[in-house]
Each structure stands twice: as C-alpha cells, then as structure tokens.
Amino acid sequence: MNNHFNNKVVWITGASSGIGEALAYAMSGCGAKLILSSRRINELERVKQGCSSQENVFILPLDLSDTNSLDAAVLLAIKCFGVIDIMVHNGGVTQRSLVIDTDIQVHRKLMELDYFSYVVLTKALLPHFLERKTGHFVVTSSVMGKIGTPMRSAYAAAKHALHGFFDCLRAEIAADNIKVTILTPGYIRTNISLFAVTNKPYGLGKPSENIENGLPADRAARQIMKAIKKGAFEAYIGKLSGERVGLWLNRFLPGVLTRIAPKLVPK
C-alpha cells in the first residue's frame, strides 16, 4: 500500500470530516502529498494537524456549490505541487424527505452539489491528466447510486447520475492510461446525517441509527485505498450487511428488491 501512494499527489474534496478526513490521515501515513478541500477552513487546519507530514499537506478552501469557481480552483490545485495524480471526489450532502414533501429547489441543490460539481471539476482537470497520460478519478457515489429506497429521491438521483457520467468517461479515456473508480459506500460512521437536507430549512440535524452502526471511517478509508491501488472500476465500501445484500439483489433478483424497498426507510 505504501509504495502505491508514496509521493503521489492526491486532491480530496470533502476533506474536513468523515471519509475525506479518514482518507487524509491514511494516505498521509503512506507518504502521499495532499490537497485538502472543503468550505470549513478551521476543520481543514485541524485535519492537517493530524496528518503525518504536514509540510506535504496543502489546504485549498472550496465551495462545491459554487460551480462557477471550480475551474479556477483546479488551476490552483495543480500549482500546489505541480501535478495531481489522484482526484478524490468526496464532498456532498445527503437528503431525507418524501418526494411529495420535497421542494424542487432541494433537488436542484443536490444535483448541483453532488453531481454537477464533480462534472465541472473533472472536465477542468481532465486536460492535465490527458497531457500527462496518467491520472485517477475516484468518485464517492453510494449504494443509493445503484438502488432506490424511500426518502432519498434527490440524493439517489444525483448518485445514479454519477455512475452514468463516469462510466462513459472511463470508456472514453481508458486508452490514455487514466482510471476511474466509483465507490458505492453503504453506511459509514460519519456525521453526514446531521446535515441531511429535508423538506425543512434547518435540515435533519440529528444522528442516524443506521449510520451510527455503520463501518468506522478509518476502516472505510483502508477499503477505499485498496480499491484505488487495484484500479477497481467499482467498489462497495462498508460492512458485509444489508447494503451489500441490496446490491446483490439489485443485480440478480431486482424484482425481490423492488418488493422490499418500501420497507427500507432510513432510521
């Protein structure tokens, strides 16, 4: 593992908490040079302090919802260390509300943040990868990018869209030695549910039982790094539990999954 990431330049969005934070610690421990991005500068500074080699960590504040700013951010990111080897798309929000209760602006917000920001960053960084004839896009989707359950329509739509876009991109750039790995995490123990978008302006604001019982973020980071090293096209990240079963049913017995999906309300 160490040899694969040693001296690689890795840009991680959503790096101020959760999976992004855990990846920062794990990759730094393997000798990677890091560019850490999110809106919360103080939290990024905290994460930097926890990394193994702080001199090889650059903080690049970024608001993914401001997609007009992302082209310039890519130029700044490349200047940090001169190159970027791995782009980890990890920022975003989740959602908890029924379709009938969810305002269209919530759908637009989720698509802008969880889908379009990834597309804009990818298109801006792609020429750099093509020029160097190497690079790796790592995309944090979700089990919800493969299946659908109640109260996640906007989130699932954005994650499904990621699969379509990045599967097409992979087919286009495979001959250029550029890789695409799509991650489909199940429940990972992070604070993402606290900021879940709902039909109310203040959001969910409370822990999720499912997430609290999920895979610890540091173990998720190790699984992700194995998938990156392997060059996996797609990788499930999480416990060997119900989410993994759901993916299996979706592939082999979709009718069964459709019948039980109404019962899979998030807790």
**pLDDT cut 90: percent of the chain above it:** 84
d(CA 138, CA 213): 25
The pLDDT, as a whole number, for residue 240 is: 85
Size of the chain, expressed as the number of residues it contains? 267
Neighbours of 96 (CB within 10 A): 21
d(CA 204, CA 199): 9
Q: Of 64-68, 137-141, 161-165, 192-196, where does mean pLDDT reach its minimum?
A: 192-196
The pLDDT, as a whole number, for residue 189 is: 83
Q: Angle formed by the axes of helices 18-29 and 41-50, to 10°?
A: 30
Q: Is the pLDDT of residue 200 over 60?
A: no
The pLDDT, as a whole number, for residue 129 is: 98
Q: How confident is the model at residue 241 (pLDDT cuts 50, 70, 90)?
A: confident
Catalytic residues: 155
Q: How far is CA 244 from CA 144, 187, 214, 237, in A?
A: 11, 10, 12, 9
Question: Two tokens at 264?
Answer: 């899979």
Q: In 197-220, which positions are buried (b, 16+ CB within 10 angstroms) versus exposed (e)?
A: bbeeeebbeeebeebeebbebebb
